[in-house]
Structure 1
């Protein structure tokens, strides 16, 4: 059986050189094929392979830049232009939510390899008025007209849903998430938030290096899979306007998306879900033989939810419950709290061993229980408890990898782009948004006058199971299991960090590593993100795939050689760096002994973005 794991990735075939590994598209939440890949042309030998990072006068040697500090607002995103548009929104009097909407809309144009209004969104935020963390679930349902029997008829030879095409498309939740959040927390007029982004789409922006690399490979992947995609011309019009994708530094524009943003700016969420855009979407799916209708779109609503909370050595860590994997972050930390990671040492084999084993245990529960809770209720309180974590921690052998792990036996009971932004009033927003597998389903809807709507639909429906009795089994009007999760942490009831690590199954692993790096090892936000990361593949998955032995533990180049040797001796099967270690952003609030509080912003050195504060 073909093995599939959840990671923000390119379509199979975008391979790094030498090691033959797949480069993960860490901007969006997607899945990676580990055993069968269409081989791309290998990269030439790296002439800089033996050259290390330059020396800085302060901080650890592995850190590439300083945390950015400001007193009035901050933003950290995966593209410099998105960060700038976020700060501009704040400086025009907008709230952190206004800035978040503008940033997300901008990234849908600037970083289409990771997100867009054809996908879903989730958020955690500090509400200064309520003095609490609040969250929303902006994921959409499967089409009402698509039955389980029809979905099964579209399954591939491996028995699972395909990675592209109309059967994978659910109702996009992003625009309604913008609208719902703006209704609660917006300060600027709705139109004033979106029109500057529409203008950006029309003017165009030079494409940075990483996004250009992923865009070329995403489009090549769609070309290889074109037979399973019902319509291929529209995506080429938008993302390959001159017969090829734009190269690094070339200006790319998307006037079709700018026109769609103008319609949304004028008509609000109804323009997308129950107006002109919805009509175009319904006609498009009727033309290509899909299932999405205007009625499916009109019925969608964002759900405001109570976040789950655990503590890690006194820090309050918040996550979103199922249908997301946010609970996995809490579980990993709850298990790791049972061990003295600080005493084991930073980047030591003992510390990484415990963290990776905690991940393996948490992910078996993820595969067993996580789904749309309107259809299958997970035992979240039990899974999130310290008592259960202590029980699971006792399964970890400090000297040897566990041969096999299983989900817990519940008591009887009745992949993405990520960014952080904060404003002068103390609101802090942790926001994540994705089309799932890199750019999504391959389907870009028709627009007016022979054009397109300028965005691609997500393929999140790929994550449904097709097995009877599975909590995540496909059903009409159901939300699939979701990999994208925002993160938020508080200290003593006050906001501390709006943070996240994008990239499918890397997300809970990466979020846990950020918290551990800062709490156990005393790193600041930028240092915690620049630190070498690990990622484990091979756990059971919510689509029904079973675990494969101990799986494979991938380590970045900066992990010490002695650590790698010790992990091998413990029984770990180590994999090389594969580009799949996530994309991190963070805005931290610091309480100062003298003067007012300030924000520290950090960004991902593995991507194109930056962090700014003022």
Structure 2
């Protein structure tokens, strides 16, 4: 139990249904959807789509989504891959010929076809109760009338304003400036798109006028995207991957997501006595950083489009983790390997919903970097993601950019299962930080006995591209000790990630937790 003398928040307890996400309006709308007869799928879709106007720097209908779903009356977990592909004509060689070593985050070549709308349509049709028209009906007025800009959103907007380019500046800036706290932001063009999707389904987005607007806008910027690329978009149901950390099963989305990275990192750390080190000591942070370096190096070498990932079993094998754990020096930092793929970013939304029938949804939805590629479609103002930065340009690499291929993805929804029972859908936003964040959240609960809210609130550290980023929640003595161990310590401008979780207690109640690093909350009824 937290110390009530100190600032903080308590877990939220309820019985009938709950949502935890990064903006209160989305959490409230999800709860309203449950209260009027929708299930967790309907509520998660409504809340997630609304976040596209509440947190436009983080997500939107031009992005991708991954989902883990526990159906009502079952402890099975299903995985839905709603990530889009590179256009058919994309070629790594074209970028190598320009002398590029990586995909530029603000270039049209970084834009992959958005997959989220296709995923939401399929999820609604196969597992929802209300149907898209009823689910999206209450969302659309927010896009038309606008919502006040929240404090964390305003901070991110100011930092990333220079990334917004071309016609996107007309939609996402005001008089050339980022929107301040309290300013009302609306997306009327996207409201019209959502009306069409609500009425006619995925075809309204991936065919006809909306697809033509996206394809023509990208072509005008020099892209090779075609209307056929949009029409060919299709999400996939697949099987999750999992591993066990000290008796708790960590369930993750498979490639092209990076969930296997979290499992490998947890497996590496299972070889160390973290409990004896204390939750915010330098030695724990050091071991976590070293395990992350090794797990992320494996990710960069092995993970790719599922049709091109061939060594997933090796990455998840306990023997692999044991060999990597033996490489860690408990007293000294190893050099961070050069990344082959992703540009680090911090921009994603996560929403989790559990309903009265204990259907649980763990959904993550993103345009990758802050404001994606910084490019938008001319007519409807759809902001394009830059997921192509997840590709490498290295020849013959399994994650090499190629037409029709999915890039390695940073976004990963999670679930925990104990003794065969799903006990918690959860997620930790934050781009490259996400596997590290999943493991720290799990370790905070398993190794240090924290509840979900305390595990989220606790300070974070992350070895990111050779820099040990340490939040201000750590005492300066820990930073000094980490520096003495060979880490290049830095306090980041923005906090590390943002987490949401709902614990499904066996006795019947729900316990929600939401990260104070964001503007959101957990709500239940």
TM-score tier, shorter chain, comes to: over 0.9
- The answer on whether the counterparts of 1:118 and 1:435 sit within 8 Å (CA) in structure 2 is yes
Cα 1:60–1:518 change in 2 (3 A) is farther
Question: Counterpart in 1 of 2:129?
Answer: 187
1:321 equivalent among 254, 264, 287:
254
- Gaps of at least 5 residues in structure 1 are 1-56, 227-231, 408-414, 448-452, 539-550
2:398 equivalent among 456, 467, 471:
471
Question: Counterpart in 2 of 1:51?
Answer: none
Cα 1:285–1:406 change in 2 (3 A) is closer
Question: Counterpart in 2 of 1:78?
Answer: 22
* RMSD of equivalent CA atoms: 1.9
Matched, 1:612 2:520: no
Show CA shifts across 1:24-68 (max 9, x none): xxxxxxxxxxxxxxxxxxxxxxxxxxxxxxxxx944877611111
Q: CA deviation at 1:417?
A: 1.0
Show CA shifts across 1:280-327 (max 9, x none): 223323333322212111111111111101001100101122211111
Show CA shifts across 1:430-478 (max 9, x none): 111111111111221122xxxxx13201011122211211111111111
SS in 1 for 2:361: strand
Question: Counterpart in 2 of 1:238?
Answer: 171
For residues 485 and 377 of structure 1, the distance between their equivalents in structure 2, rounded to whole angstroms, comes to: 17
Q: CA deviation at 1:216?
A: 3.2
- The answer on whether the counterparts of 1:94 and 1:188 sit within 8 Å (CA) in structure 2 is yes
Question: Counterpart in 2 of 1:69?
Answer: 13
Show CA shifts across 1:136-188 (max 9, x none): 111111111233333334564xx322111321111100000101111221001
Question: Counterpart in 2 of 1:566?
Answer: 481
Cα 1:147–1:517 change in 2 (3 A) is same
Q: CA deviation at 1:243?
A: 4.6
Q: CA deviation at 1:402?
A: 3.1
Q: CA deviation at 1:608?
A: 1.1
For residues 294 and 4 of structure 2, the distance between their equivalents in structure 1, rounded to whole angstroms, comes to: 32
Question: Counterpart in 1 of 2:291?
Answer: 358
Matched, 1:440 2:390: no
Show CA shifts across 1:62-106 (max 9, x none): 761111111011111111111111111111111111111101110
- The answer on whether the counterparts of 2:462 and 2:470 sit within 8 Å (CA) in structure 1 is yes
2:429 equivalent among 502, 510, 524:
502
Cα 1:519–1:85 change in 2 (3 A) is same
Matched, 1:429 2:361: yes
For residues 356 and 99 of structure 2, the distance between their equivalents in structure 1, rounded to whole angstroms, comes to: 50
For residues 478 and 176 of structure 2, the distance between their equivalents in structure 1, rounded to whole angstroms, comes to: 47
Show CA shifts across 1:315-367 (max 9, x none): 01011222111111001111111111112222122222211111111011011
For residues 573 and 289 of structure 1, the distance between their equivalents in structure 2, rounded to whole angstroms, comes to: 40
The correspondence of residues 121-520 of structure 1 with structure 2, limited to 5 A, is 121-153=65-97, 156=100, 159-222=101-164, 226=165, 232=166, 234-374=167-307, 376-403=308-335, 416-447=348-379, 453-520=380-447
For residues 568 and 245 of structure 1, the distance between their equivalents in structure 2, rounded to whole angstroms, comes to: 36
TM-score, normalised with respect to structure 2: 0.94
For residues 461 and 405 of structure 1, the distance between their equivalents in structure 2, rounded to whole angstroms, comes to: 21
The correspondence of residues 516-595 of structure 1 with structure 2, limited to 5 A, is 516-538=443-465, 551-592=466-507
Question: Counterpart in 1 of 2:344?
Answer: none
Cα 1:116–1:571 change in 2 (3 A) is same
SS in 1 for 2:137: helix
The correspondence of residues 85-124 of structure 1 with structure 2, limited to 5 A, is 85-124=29-68
- The answer on whether the counterparts of 1:109 and 1:257 sit within 8 Å (CA) in structure 2 is no
- Gaps of at least 5 residues in structure 2 are 340-346
For residues 579 and 155 of structure 1, the distance between their equivalents in structure 2, rounded to whole angstroms, comes to: 32
Cα 1:145–1:216 change in 2 (3 A) is same
